[in-house]
Structure 1
Amino acid sequence: MTKKNVNEMSFLDHLEDLRWHLIRATLAILLGGVVAFLMSDFIFDTIIFGPKKMSFPTYKYLCQISQFIGIDTTFCAEELPFRIQNRTMGGQFSAHIWTSIYAGLIIAFPYVVYQLWHFISPGLHPSERKHSRGFIVITSLLFFLGVLFGYYVVTPLSINFLGTYNVSTEISNEIDISSYVALVRSSSLASGFVFELPIIIYFLTKVGLVTPQFLKKYRKFALVLVLILSAIITPPDIASQVIVAIPILLLYQVSIYISAIVIKKQKRQTK
């Protein structure tokens, strides 16, 4: 679609174009979901229930670090003191369906971004499209890095803390499958979307909503928001919150540099 075609399109034409992009993106997610549904043994036994096993890589590394500095922690236990169970007739089937759909979203994410980019790119100037060719790759890379961070860092920290927390010996932890799967899913996906912060700042700078000066001025407020976000997606212990907050703060700093680069390019084009 050329720039001229875009200028000649009516509002309804743009809506129709967007509808087809959303349909293609949805079909890609469903296709990825079907693949995940058929690979249920690997998805659940290896991925979903991986952080429940003490052989999970994160626990091994944290156990080694704890032993090195001489701290007794639950990361070195033989197993986590809780069971996963299903209390409803459709619980396992529901978990299977929704886990497959979210897995489909992760699998199809680059194509979803491609459809989004294919919709907005015709409205950009040729020079803007040229400088944004790596949009799909960078956006997908940041998302996958975030998902991996959520899965290997946030999820095991949350499961280890909440699964071993006990207010009384009279209470045994028997976790419902929907609660467990929701924790793994939300921790991974939330981290994936949080890692998109540089991309969001890039576009907000392009449209003039934020500037490097604005980001620097409100850095202290951003720090507070980051700590609040870390407290939401992690168990309520300081160590976990700090571990999660560090990469988010680094992403915020990177976003400032990206915003500054965008402003410099815009000033050059106006000269």
Structure 2
Amino acid sequence: MSDPKQPQSEGTEETFISHLVELRDRIIRAGLAVIVVFVSLVYWAPDIFRLLARPLMMNLPKDGKMIVTDVTGSFFVPMKVTMLVAFVIALPIVLYQIWAFVAPGLYQHEKRLVGPLVGSSYTLFLCGMAFAYFLVFPTIFRVMAHYNAPLGAEMTTDIDNYLSFVMTMFLAFGVTFEVPIIVVLLVRTGLLSVNKLKEIRPYVIVGAFVIAAVVTPPDVFSQLILAIPLIVLYEAGIIAARLLVRKPPQTDADKENKEGSAVG
């Protein structure tokens, strides 16, 4: 006698395997997109690294140079930078592959939300990186050079350490510029209200300065150029949430309760 549960379990197993196969294909396509962009850029890897190092080189003393302490650093560091640039350029394709995988399991209203959410998140992350590159890096390096001058210390840095520093700053400011998206999502999902976000504003301000103190160099000015944008973006998120998130319509019971409380 056959087990009636066996066909159902086999169907579930086949569905699971098909999802794994699709996930594998999506990962391969996303990886190929990054590799294709990387191969297209690898010839210019030294130029890309020089472009990344430009904010520091502009603020080094005359005849100042970067150093290499690892035997293979002069080869692998530009390759790492080029790979990261390739990933940022190919990120829309990577995000599309993720979207194509999860889209069949989403409701229609969720699908309408994902597109603008992903696009705005990617744009804001790039804005955060640009803010760090064009404003934060020159400011920090200028301040550090000012501190080093009275000490008679020569301002040089290893290219691997420099890469680690700029990647940390890119990530910090990229995530910082995502704050409006996070705030809007918190309100839209009902986890927090706009009024509650206003109430916790003092804690957010303190948290912004704590994060800035951990991420940026120890001077006050460097901390301010991260903490202030974080606070401003939080306020922008509150404004965006007030404009974009619609209040649920009041039911008859809500109106009666409101009228009853007013009479009482």
Fold similarity call, TM over 0.5: yes
Structure 1 residue matching 2:246: 3-state secondary structure:
helix
2:28 maps to 1:23: yes
CA distance in 2, matches of 1:257, 1:15: 41
Structure 1 unaligned spans of 5+:
1-7, 55-74
Counterpart residue number, 1:51: 55
2:106 maps to what in 1? Answer: 124
1 CA distance for matches of 2:79 and 2:135?
25
CA–CA distance in structure 2, aligned partners of residues 11 and 204 of structure 1: 32
- CA distance in 2 between partners of 1:186 and 1:26 (Å): 23
Larger Rg: 2
Cα shift at 1:147: 0.9
1:167-182 mapped onto 2 (5 Å cutoff): 169=151, 171-182=153-164
| CA distance 1:103–1:88, change in 2 (3 Å) | same
Q: Does 1:225 align with 2:207?
A: yes
1:238 maps onto 2:220 in alignment? yes
Aligned to 2:43: 38
Distance apart, 1:11 and its partner CA: 5.8
User: In 2 relative to 1, CA 21–253 (structure 1 residues): closer, same or farther, beyond 3 Å?
Assistant: farther
Native 8 Å contact 1:80 1:164 kept in 2: no
Partner of 1:138: 120
Matches within 5 A, 1:1-271: 14=19, 16-45=21-50, 47-54=51-58, 79=61, 82-166=64-148, 169=151, 171-260=153-242, 263-264=245-246, 267-268=248-249
State, as a whole percentage, how many aligned pairs show the same letter.
Answer: 31
Partners of 1:190 and 1:12 lie apart in 2 by: 38
Counterpart AA for 1:113: L
CA deviation map 1:63-98 (0-9, x unaligned): xxxxxxxxxxxx7xx846853111121111221222
Shift of the alpha carbon at 1:176? 1.0
Contact 1:28 1:111 in 2 (8 A): yes
Q: Deviations over 1:142-180 (max 9, x none)?
A: 111111001112222222233443387464333111112
The TM-score with structure 1 as length reference comes to: 0.73
Question: Alignment RMSD, CA only?
Answer: 3.3
Unaligned runs of 5+ in 2: 1-11, 253-264
What is the DSSP-based 3-state SS (H/G/I as helix, E as strand, rest coil) of the residue aligned with 1:235?
A: coil
Q: What is the letter of the counterpart of residue 33 of structure 2?
A: A
Range with greater deviation from structure 2 (143-152 or 228-237): 228-237
Bigger drift between 131-140 and 220-229 goes to 131-140
